[in-house]
Chain A
Amino acid sequence: MIKKAILGVLQWLEDRTGLWALIGPSLTHLAPRDAKWWYVFGSATLLCFIIQVVTGVALMFSYVPSAGEAYQSLRYITEVAPLGRLMRGMHYFGASAMVLLVGVHMGQVFLHGSYKFPREMNWVSGMVLLVFTLGMGFTGQLLRWDSNAVWSIVVGAEQAGRSPVIGTWLAHFIMAGDNIGGATLGRFFALHVFILPALVFAGIGLHLLLVMRHGIAEMPKAGQVVEKETYRQEYHDRLEKTGVPFWQLAWRDSVFSMIITLVIVALAWHFGPPTVDVPPDPSILDTSPAPDFYLLWYFAVLALANSNMEDYIILGAPLLIGIMLFVIPFLSPTGERHPSRRPWAVLALAAAFLFVGAFWVAGIQMNWTPNFHWKPLTEKVIGATEGPVYRGAQVFQAKSCIACHLIEDDGGKKGPDLSYVGDRLTYDQMVIRINTGGINMPAFAGNMTSSQLTDLVAFLQSRKRDWAVKETEKKGAEVIGTH
C-alpha cells in the first residue's frame, strides 16, 4: 500500500519533471566490461572538484576579500575558527590532489589511446579543463594574500609585461593599476571564486556529455584498429554483446574516491594548510616568491630558461605546450590504441613525465637562487683562527661570495662549489676571476682592497682535499709571501 503510494508519487514527479529520463542514462548506459581500475581517475578528479567547491564555499563564510583584511581573516580561519585549520588544509590538499589526478587521468587516456576517433573533443575539453584547473590553483595561492602572493602577482605582471605592444597594459590590468594596492585582490578573488569555477562547471558538463555521447572507451587491445568508417558500429556491437550497465562498474570509482577523500582529510588533519606568515606588505623585502609544490616544475622551467631565449620561453612555452597537447588527437585520430603498438607515444609520455619530474626536483631544490640564510663558516671548516686564511674567510662572507658558492655544505649553490677550488685554480686565475667576474658573478675590482683580495685568495687556495692539505699549507704560505 505505502510502497504503491510512494511509487505513484515518483511516477507523477517523473511525468511532470522528466528528471529520471535525463539522468537515468548516465547510470544505465552500457559500458565496456573491462573498464576497471584504470578508469577511476576521472571520477576521482571530479570528486576533488566537488571537495574544492564545498570546502571553498565553507571558507567563504569567514574569508574577507579585502586587501587590508584578507590576511587577518586567513589568520583567524587558521588559528581561531573551529575546524578552520582543517578546512583550509582540505582545500589545499584537495587542490593538490586535483592537479595530480588530472595529470594521471591525462596520462591514462593518452597511454590507452582513448583520445582517438570519435573522442577527439573529449580530449580537447579535458585540455581546457586542465588550463582552468591550473588557473584555479594559481589564483587560489594568491588569495592566501601574504607576502608570497603579493610578489607572485608582481612577477606575473612582469611576465605579462614582456608581451609585445600590450605588455604594460596587461601588467597594469593584472595589478589593477600601476602598483599593488587595495584594488589588486578583488580581481583574483572574482576569478577564483566566480569566473573559473563557472567555467570548470561548464567544462565538466561538456566533458561528461561527450563521455555519454561516445561511450566509455574499452581497454585497448593490440590489433584492434580504430577506423573512422567502422569504429562506431564495431564499438556499438561489442557493447551490445558484452557491455554492462555503468552502475555495475561504478563501485570502483566509489571506493577509489573514498580513499582519496580520506587521504585528503588525513593529510589536512596531520599537516594542516600552508602557513600564512609574512603579511602582504610590499615594503617587506625579505621574501623569495615561489608557487605551491604542484606548480614548482613550471616555475623551474621559467627559472632555468636560457636568458637570451627568455622572452620567447615565458610567452611561448605555455602556448607551445598548449598547442602540442591540443593537436594530439588530430595528429593520430585512428589506428592502434594499445601501448605495445605505439612505442613512440609511450616514449613521448615517458619523456613528458621525466621532463616534468626533472624540473620538479629542480624546482624543489631551487639551486638557481642565492642563499641568504647561510651560517657563518666554522673554525673547523676555515682551518685557521688568524692570519690570511682566516681573514680571507671573513672577506668571503662579508662580500657575500658565500650566498652563491658552497664551502663544505654551507652557502649557496648558484655558482660553482668552492670546497676544493684550490685544486682547480691557480692564484692568478683566482685573482682574475674575482676582479673581472663572469656572466653570473659580479666583478669585485673596486669593491675590495688589495689586502682583502690577497686574503680571500689565500682562503680559496687553502680549499683542497684533505690528502693535499698539509702539503700545500707550506707552499701556500710561501706563495702568499711572494705576492
Chain B
Amino acid sequence: MSTSCCGGHGDHDKPPVEHAGPPTAEEINRRKFLALLSIVPGAVATVAIGVPVAGFIAGPLFVPQKPEWISVGPVSQFKVGETVQVNYRDPSPLPWAGVTANSAAYLRRLSETEFVAFAVNCSHLGCPVRWLPSAELFMCPCHGGVYYKDGSVAAGPPPHALSKYEIRIEDGQVQLQTREIPIG
C-alpha cells in the first residue's frame, strides 16, 4: 500500500523551519509537555466517563435483595412425609420482569410442626432437580446428580447437599424466606 498520495502527514518529524539546527533543551521540554498535554486530558475524560459506566453496569451487585418471608400455602395443605414443589414470586420484582420473577422450591413436611424446604438448584451446576415421588429421590436432568429425600447427595457429581430455605409458620401459613440462587 502506498502512503505517498493525499498529503497531510509526513512532516511532523522535521524541525520547525524558523529554528534551524538541533532543538534546544527548552524545545524538547516544550514538546514533551505538549505531548503530555494531549494525553492527560484524554485519560481524564476516559476516567470521567468510564468509572460511572462501569459502576452502572455492575450496579445490580450493589443492591442485594433483602430476604423476605413469603407464604406458600396453609399448613393443612401439606401432608406429613410428602415433598411438593411450591412456587412463589419475587416480592419486589422489576415492573417488566414478567414470569422471570417466578421461583420454585421443594417443601417437605417432616411432622405436624416441622417443615424443610430445598432449593431446586442442583449443587453441581444449578440445573433444576426433579422430585421423583415414588422413588423418593431428587434427580438432576443435566448430569444425573441424585439426592435423597432429606436433600443429601445420593449419587453423581454434586459436591454437597441441596441448599435449604429458612421456614416458619405464621397464622397457619407456611412461609419461606426468599434467598439467592446458591452459588458454589
Give the B-binding residues of A (Cβ under 8 A). 18, 21, 25, 29, 66-69, 71, 150-151, 154-155, 157-159, 161-162, 167-169, 171-173, 175-185, 187, 212-213, 279-283, 285-289, 303, 307, 310, 368-370, 372, 398-400, 403-404, 414, 437-443, 447
**Residue among A281, A282, A289, A438 with max Cβ neighbours from chain B (10 Å):** A282
Give the CA-CA distance A154 to B95 in the complex, in Å. Answer: 21
Q: Mark B56-68, 1 if CB is under 8 A from A, else 0.
A: 0110110111000
Whether B36 sits at the interface, judged by CB under 8 Å, is no
Whether B74 sits at the interface, judged by CB under 8 Å, is no
Interface contact B141-A399, CB-CB below 8 Å: no
- The interface residues of chain B lying within 8 Å CB-to-CB of A168 are 183-184
Give the CA-CA distance A279 to B184 in the complex, in Å. Answer: 26
Give the 9 A-B residue pairs with the shortest CB-CB distance, closest first.
A68-B98, A182-B94, A182-B97, A178-B180, A442-B154, A288-B141, A158-B126, A281-B99, A161-B183
Interface contact B100-A282, CB-CB below 8 Å: yes
Whether B132 sits at the interface, judged by CB under 8 Å, is yes
Interface contact B95-A167, CB-CB below 8 Å: no
Which chain A residue shows the least CB distance to B139?
A370
Give the CA-CA distance A441 to B142 in the complex, in Å. Answer: 15
Whether B84 sits at the interface, judged by CB under 8 Å, is no
| 20 other A-B residue contacts (CB within 8 Å) besides A177-B65, A369-B142, A442-B155 | A67-B94, A151-B128, A158-B121, A158-B184, A169-B61, A171-B184, A172-B60, A172-B61, A181-B90, A181-B97, A181-B101, A285-B85, A288-B127, A307-B157, A369-B141, A370-B139, A398-B134, A403-B139, A437-B154, A441-B146
Give the A-binding residues of B (Cβ under 8 A). 1-2, 5-6, 57-58, 60-61, 63-65, 85, 87-88, 90, 93-104, 120-121, 124-130, 132, 134-137, 139-144, 146, 148, 154-157, 180-181, 183-184
Interface contact A213-B1, CB-CB below 8 Å: yes
Interface contact A179-B90, CB-CB below 8 Å: yes
Task: Given A171-B183, A177-B65, A307-B157, check contact A182 B96 (CB 8 Å).
Answer: yes
**Residue among B94, B100, B156 with max Cβ neighbours from chain A (10 Å):** B100
Q: Which of A21, A281, A404 contacts B102 (CB 8 A)?
A: A281
**Residue among A157, A289, A400, A414 with max Cβ neighbours from chain B (10 Å):** A400
Interface contact A18-B65, CB-CB below 8 Å: no
Interface contact A181-B94, CB-CB below 8 Å: yes
Interface contact B144-A369, CB-CB below 8 Å: yes
Which chain B residue shows the least CB distance to A415?
B144
Task: Given A175-B181, A176-B60, check contact A372 B99 (CB 8 Å).
Answer: no
Give the CA-CA distance A310 to B130 in the complex, in Å. Answer: 23
- The interface residues of chain B lying within 8 Å CB-to-CB of A161 are 183-184
Give the CA-CA distance A124 to B165 in the complex, in Å. Answer: 48
Query: Is the contact region of chain A dominated by helix, strand, or loop, or is it mixed?
Result: loop
Chosen A-B contacts, 14 in total, with CB atoms closer than 8 Å, are A18-B5, A161-B184, A167-B184, A173-B61, A177-B61, A181-B90, A285-B104, A286-B130, A370-B144, A399-B134, A399-B135, A400-B139, A439-B156, A447-B136
**Residue among A171, A285, A372, A437 with max Cβ neighbours from chain B (10 Å):** A285
- The interface residues of chain A lying within 8 Å CB-to-CB of B5 are 18, 21
Give the CA-CA distance A161 to B99 in the complex, in Å. Answer: 25
Interface contact A154-B155, CB-CB below 8 Å: no
Interface contact A180-B100, CB-CB below 8 Å: yes
Interface contact B100-A281, CB-CB below 8 Å: yes
- The interface residues of chain A lying within 8 Å CB-to-CB of B143 are 303, 368-369
Q: Which of A180, A285, A288, A310 contacts B181 (CB 8 A)?
A: A180
Give the CA-CA distance A475 to B161 in the complex, in Å. Answer: 43
Which chain A residue shows the least CB distance to B140?
A370
Give the CA-CA distance A393 to B155 in the complex, in Å. Answer: 22
Nearest Cβ on chain B to A76's Cβ, whole angstroms? 15
Nearest Cβ on chain A to B112's Cβ, whole angstroms? 23
Q: Which of B85, B99, B135, B141 contacts A280 (CB 8 A)?
A: B99
**Residue among B64, B136, B141 with max Cβ neighbours from chain A (10 Å):** B141
Give the CA-CA distance A29 to B1 in the complex, in Å. Answer: 8
Which chain B residue shows the least CB distance to A170?
B183
- The interface residues of chain B lying within 8 Å CB-to-CB of A307 are 157
Interface contact B155-A440, CB-CB below 8 Å: yes
Which chain B residue shows the least CB distance to A175?
B181
- The interface residues of chain B lying within 8 Å CB-to-CB of A279 are 99
Interface contact B130-A179, CB-CB below 8 Å: no
Give the CA-CA distance A212 to B2 in the complex, in Å. Answer: 12
Give the CA-CA distance A261 to B164 in the complex, in Å. Answer: 52
Give the CA-CA distance A285 to B129 in the complex, in Å. Answer: 7
Nearest Cβ on chain A to B174's Cβ, whole angstroms? 17
Nearest Cβ on chain B to A406's Cβ, whole angstroms? 14
- The interface residues of chain B lying within 8 Å CB-to-CB of A285 are 85, 104, 120, 128-130
- The interface residues of chain A lying within 8 Å CB-to-CB of B104 are 282-283, 285
Task: Given A25-B1, A177-B60, check contact A154 B121 (CB 8 Å).
Answer: yes
- The interface residues of chain B lying within 8 Å CB-to-CB of A372 are 130, 139, 141
- The interface residues of chain A lying within 8 Å CB-to-CB of B65 are 177-179
Give the CA-CA distance A165 to B85 in the complex, in Å. Answer: 33
Nearest Cβ on chain A to B83's Cβ, whole angstroms? 13
Give the CA-CA distance A179 to B141 in the complex, in Å. Answer: 21
- The interface residues of chain B lying within 8 Å CB-to-CB of A158 are 121, 124-126, 183-184
Task: Given A157-B126, A288-B141, A442-B155, check contact A69 B98 (CB 8 Å).
Answer: yes
Interface contact B87-A283, CB-CB below 8 Å: yes
Nearest Cβ on chain B to A320's Cβ, whole angstroms? 20
